[in-house]
């Protein structure tokens, strides 16, 4: 005898990076298990592959996952998690006042948003007199899959990330699309920049939109209340 099937509900959200509405469903038990195992492994490739597969399935294969900015990926996965296991999530965090004791924090996942820094700008002007500069795209899942860590301090890795994020270079009225240049050419261009220009590029990455939420924790031993910040997927999938 065939067992009964269970229909999963559909929900809708708007991607933070653009005004596009996306339909999605909660993840299944088997999908959550794969994701949690990947998170526990701390293996970057496992986490990326699990994340991609789950979002692809839960959004009915309607998105080009590799091209989405990482903060879209994080937001999507968090919203899927909220509809799957409940929007009220409980976490254990180390209390900032003594840096030893663990305290309980309750967060409504539906209230967690992608936050944008007021000083964030993706247009980097290198030489104002020549109107020379570049426009950057946000790091995508594809860049992360290629082995580039956005937060890396390794010089080669950093240049690889930046080169992969260049949309185009401009000078005066001319534009030079990054897709028309090789990675080697883009890296050589970056290596020839003054330090002041590279600091502006670094600021672009430091101020990128990010999944972020501030909560309050009470130390059960001292009674001291402190603010704690959750950011990025790892913090929300403890």
pLDDT higher than 70, residue 207: yes
Domain-embedded: residue 3: no
Domain-embedded: residue 4: no
Whether residue 28 sits in one domain with residue 102 = yes
Domain-embedded: residue 108: yes
Measure the CA dihedral 208/210/213/219, to 10°.
-80
Whether residue 226 sits in one domain with residue 140 = no
Q: Is the dihedral of CA 215, 23, 76, 167 positive or negative?
A: negative
**What's the whole-number mean pLDDT along residues 67-92?**
92
**What's the whole-number mean pLDDT along residues 225-236?**
88
Domain-embedded: residue 2: no
Question: Could you give the CA distance from residue 62 to residue 13 in angstroms, rounded to a whole number?
Answer: 13
Q: Which of 16, 148, 172 is nearest to 79 (CA)?
A: 16
Whether residue 48 sits in one domain with residue 22 = yes
Domain-embedded: residue 1: no
Whether residue 21 sits in one domain with residue 82 = yes
When mean pLDDT is compared across 53-57, 158-162, 206-210, the lowest value belongs to 158-162
Whether residue 109 sits in one domain with residue 24 = yes
Whether residue 148 sits in one domain with residue 102 = no
Whether residue 73 sits in one domain with residue 153 = no
Residue 55 region by backbone torsions, left for phi larger than 0, else alpha for psi between -120 and 50, else beta: alpha
> Where does the pLDDT of residue 123 fall: very low under 50, low under 70, confident under 90, or very high at 90 and above?
very high
52: its two tokens: 């991609």
Domain that holds residue 93: 11-114+210-236
pLDDT higher than 70, residue 155: no
> Where does the pLDDT of residue 146 fall: very low under 50, low under 70, confident under 90, or very high at 90 and above?
low
Task: Report pLDDT for 188.
Answer: 93
pTM of the predicted model as reported, rounded to 2 decimal places: 0.84
Domain-embedded: residue 231: yes
Whether residue 140 sits in one domain with residue 228 = no
Task: Report pLDDT for 65.
Answer: 92
Domain count, the chain: 2
Whether residue 108 sits in one domain with residue 18 = yes
Whether residue 231 sits in one domain with residue 202 = no
Q: Which of 210, 217, 221, 236 is nearest to 79 (CA)?
A: 236
Task: Answer yes or no: are the C-beta atoms of 111 and 150 closer than 8 Å.
Answer: no
Task: Report pLDDT for 153.
Answer: 55
Task: Report pLDDT for 11.
Answer: 95
Whether residue 229 sits in one domain with residue 181 = no
Beta strands in the chain (DSSP E): 11-14, 21-24, 88-94, 102-108, 113-115, 123-127, 132-136, 166-171, 174-177, 210-218, 225-231
Whether residue 85 sits in one domain with residue 24 = yes
- According to DSSP, the β-strands at 113-115 and 132-136 are unpaired
State the number of CA atoms in the 13 A half-sphere of 99 facing the CB.
Answer: 0
Domain-embedded: residue 15: yes
**What's the whole-number mean pLDDT along residues 130-148?**
82
Domain-embedded: residue 183: yes
What percent of the chain has pLDDT above 90?
Answer: 65
Contacts of 152 (CB under 8 A, 6+ apart): 158, 161
């Amino acid at each position: 005898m065939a067992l009964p099937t269970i229909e999963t509900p559909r929900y809708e959200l708007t991607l933070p990076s653009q005004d596009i509405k996306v339909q999605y469903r909660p993840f299944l038990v088997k999908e959550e298990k794969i994701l949690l195992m990947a998170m526990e492994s701390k293996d970057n490739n496992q986490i990326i592959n699990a994340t991609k597969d789950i979002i692809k399935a839960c959004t009915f294969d309607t998105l080009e996952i590799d091209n989405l900015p990482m903060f879209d990926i994080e937001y999507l996965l968090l919203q899927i998690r909220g509809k799957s296991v409940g929007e009220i999530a409980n976490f254990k965090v180390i209390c900032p006042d003594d840096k030893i004791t663990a305290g309980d924090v309750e967060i409504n996942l539906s209230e967690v948003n992608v936050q944008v820094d007021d000083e964030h700008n993706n247009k980097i002007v290198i030489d104002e007199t020549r109107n020379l500069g570049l426009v950057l795209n946000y790091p995508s899942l594809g860049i992360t899959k290629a082995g580039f860590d956005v937060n890396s301090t390794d010089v080669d890795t950093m240049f690889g990330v930046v080169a992969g994020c260049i949309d185009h270079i401009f000078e005066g009225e001319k534009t030079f699309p990054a897709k028309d240049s090789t990675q080697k050419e883009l890296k050589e261009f970056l290596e020839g920049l003054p330090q002041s220009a590279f600091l502006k590029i670094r600021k672009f990455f430091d101020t990128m939109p990010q999944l972020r939420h501030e909560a309050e924790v009470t130390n059960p031993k001292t009674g001291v209340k402190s603010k704690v910040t959750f950011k990025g997927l790892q913090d929300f999938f403890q």
